[in-house]
Amino acid sequence: MSIEARVITDFSRIDRAQWQQLDHADNPFLSYAFLVGLEESASIGPHAGWHPHHLAIFKGDDLVAFAPTYAKDNSHGEFVFDWAWADAYQRNGVNYYPKLLTGVPYSPVTGPRLLTRRGCEKPAALKQHLLELALLSCKEQGFSTWHCNFVREDDFSLLGDAGLLTRLDWQFHWVNQDYRDFDEFLGGLRSRKRKSIRRERRRVQEAGIRFEWKAGSEIHETELEFIYACYLDTFRNYGNYPALKLSFFRSLAEQLDERFQTVFALKEGEPVAMAVFLSGGGRLYGRYWGCREEIPGLHFETAYYQGIEFCIENGIGIFESGAQGEHKIGRGFVPTQTRSCHHVEHPLFRNAIEDHLEREKNWTDEYGEQLEARIPFRRDEE
């Protein structure tokens, strides 16, 4: 049976049952609900510079490989920053946009990017077909570049071997060492950090705050509206564009259910803050946080410590709390490398970007050493 490469411009055209046959490592950001929800809720689209351009490989009528991909008119919502590249193109009178991006919109989360059907005989060959389709799209449709963001190590090696430029960065993840409870986790920290966390938690408790967790199906409409209002406040307070729609949150809560968790901070029985988490593949992902009342320590308790306790209680191995944030190190999160790969069509710009990435790697390595030195765990336990 012949192999056919197609570009899919509407994710809903993908059969849900066939999507479930792909190996997406139980990553909630690669769930059918998440990807179709972004498009159907108009959280992404031409108005935001995201044009679905999904790369798909079919064997007959069966979907056997897929890469979530978008043509981009800007660099918003990606978390792998190429603004300087775009500026260099513009200053030299060359168009940087549109470009091609493989990744999940607004989600700085590592996961499979070149997905293949579980149990297929030659996954590497199918991934090669996806790679060739991306490069063909660049040549035929004039995309300046193709970016593959937050890739796993296996895809990173494959794409690097194929000649794509590689780039590294850092995030901060909490790792569950089979802790029995939060106190055992604290016991592994240096005394000063341990006392600081206890002090932060005590201030929230003394403010009369208690916490309640709810899975997606348990969240009623009023609570969804509160979640969304907090999300809007957070993005507007930091001058960011709140791309996601209320209908997107609603569909995720309904369809992901237990994999969509929200912790509400309650004061006198009324919610004053919330944090949304997604889960899957042995990981908890902190996504959105917001509050309607400023209380010292409330952010750290709601977005971090509650997530850590949830992981301990539910046997979840890794807690990813989002992009950036060196302040997380002092709260028990450790530096973790992230990866991206980049194809550049223009040969002169490719040479310049490759040189830039070489210099950047030296800085990234030095930065990683500095981060490692700040890890707050007691050295006597190593």
- Asked whether the predicted pLDDT for residue 380 surpasses 80, the reply is no
* CA pair distance 352, 364, nearest whole angstrom: 18
CATH topology of domain 3-170+337-373: Aminopeptidase (3.40.630)
pLDDT at 278: 98
Query: Which alpha helices (H) appear in 215-346, and where do they start and end?
Result: 221-237, 246-256, 298-300, 306-314
Residue 50: pLDDT band by 50, 70, 90 thresholds?
very high
Per-residue pLDDT for 382 more than 90? no
Domain range annotation of the chain: 3-170+337-373, 177-316
Q: Mind listing the pLDDT tens digit for each residue in 173-222?
A: 999 999 999 999 999 999 999 999 999 999 999 999 999 999 999 999 99
**What percent of the chain stands above pLDDT 70?**
99
Enumerate residues 6+ apart whose C-beta is below 8 A from 186.
194, 197, 198
Whether residue 17 is predicted with pLDDT greater than 80 in this model: the reply is yes
CATH class given for the domain over 177-316: alpha beta
Domains 3-170+337-373 and 177-316 agree in fold: yes
* CA–CA gap between residue 329 and residue 337 (Å, rounded): 14
Q: Is 311 helix (H, G, I), strand (E, B) or coil?
A: helix
Is pLDDT of 282 > 80? Answer: yes
pLDDT digits (tens, 9 = 90+) for 321-366: 988 889 999 999 999 999 999 999 999 999 999 999 999 999 999 9
Tell me the average pLDDT across 258-275: 98
Task: Check whether 237 has a pLDDT greater than 90.
Answer: no
Distances (CA, A) of 269 to 208, 212, 272: 10, 10, 9
Q: How confident is the model at residue 238 (pLDDT cuts 50, 70, 90)?
A: confident
What integer pLDDT is reported at residue 225 of this predicted model? Answer: 98
